[in-house]
Each structure stands twice: as structure tokens, then as C-alpha cells.
Amino acid sequence: MTVDNAPPAPAGPRQSVELDGEEALRLLGSVSLGRVVFTRHALPTVRPVNHVLDDGDIVIRTHEGAALTSHTRQADGPGVVVAYEADAIDPNTHLGWSVVVTGYAHLVTDPNELARYRQLLHPWVKQAMDYAVRIRPDLVTGIRLTTTDRSP
């Protein structure tokens, strides 16, 4: 989008209201698309993915050869540290919300769980997604963007 055909900016400033963790996870579960952030070659990497929220955990599907698949496969201990972000912000009004979850990701290895996630989560890219990664949230933060009250 260029400046010439950009929609007019919404009137007035926006206020950022912090969400509690429960509300933030509820909102994250209300959408199916987010962004997973992990380290690749010692640098941050961001990938858009679809997800399902399952008993407080975020589950995404991956494929053989994906950097996140190999990182989680090689991880010892609690898993690989990742961030996950999802939002719903109206491009015209700039109102909505954003949630960021930080936690540990690990490859789902139980065949029954993997089969269940294959039924629950359908990838939006045309590629074989034979793996699933579960993200266990340690830190959940979120904001809601609202209009500001201008009354005295």
C-alpha cells in the first residue's frame, strides 16, 4: 500500500489496555492464525502459522525440513524457547488486540496426540505437515487497543 491510496487515519489516539493472562489466551484461541518466533542461525526468525489452542497449549503443524521441526527434535530438557503472537487489529480503525506468549516448544511424539492434532488442525499451506509442535506458555501478555476518553 502506498501513501497515495492509504485509507484515512482514524481520528484520535488509541489507548493500550493490558489484558490478564486468561483473557489474552481466550482471545488467542478465538483466531486461527499467528506468528511463531524462534532462533535460526543465532537470529530471530518469524513464521506465519495456523494454530489451535488445546488445554492452554498452542499447537501448530510443521513439516520435515522446517527449521522449527529440527530445533524441537534436537531439544533437550523443557524444549526450545519461542514466542507466539496473534492479533486482531482493524486496519481502518486501529482498534483490536494483540497477544504474545513466550514459552517452550517441543515436538509432539505421541501417535494418538499427533493423530488428534491432524484432525483438529488443518494447515493452510499446500504441503505435507506430518509433525506437530506444542508450545507451553510460561509468560502470557496482551493488550487491547481502544479509543481514548476525551471527556474532562
Q: Is the pLDDT of residue 2 over 70?
A: no
Amino acid identity, position 114: L
Q: Is the pLDDT of residue 108 over 80?
A: yes
Predicted pLDDT at 9: 61
User: Phi-psi bin for 130: left (phi > 0), alpha (psi -120 to 50), beta?
Assistant: alpha
Q: CA of 46: how far to CAs of 23, 90, 134, in Å?
A: 24, 22, 17
Predicted pLDDT at 152: 42
Residue 151 pLDDT level (bands cut at 50, 70, 90): very low
Q: Is the pLDDT of residue 150 over 60?
A: no
pLDDT digits over 7-32, tens only? Answer: 666 667 889 999 999 999 999 999 99
- End-to-end, the C-alpha distance of the chain in Å comes to 37
Q: What is the mean pLDDT of residues 65-88?
A: 86
Q: Which residues are registered as beta bridge partners of 98?
A: 87, 143
Residue 87 pLDDT level (bands cut at 50, 70, 90): very high
Mean pLDDT across the chain, nearest whole number?
88
Residue 68 pLDDT level (bands cut at 50, 70, 90): confident
Amino acid identity, position 48: P
H runs (alpha helix) in the chain = 21-29, 67-74, 111-120
Predicted pLDDT at 116: 94
pLDDT > 90: what percent of the chain?
Answer: 62
pTM score: 0.86
Contacts of 129 (CB under 8 A, 6+ apart): 61, 62, 63, 123
Q: Is the pLDDT of residue 79 over 90?
A: no
Higher pLDDT, 34 or 41: 34
Q: How many CA atoms lie less than 13 Å away from 83 in the CB half-sphere?
A: 12
Q: Which domains does the chain have, with CATH numbers?
A: 20-145 (2.30.110.10)
What SS3 state is found at 61? strand
As a whole number of angstroms, the distance between CA 143 and CA 113 comes to 32
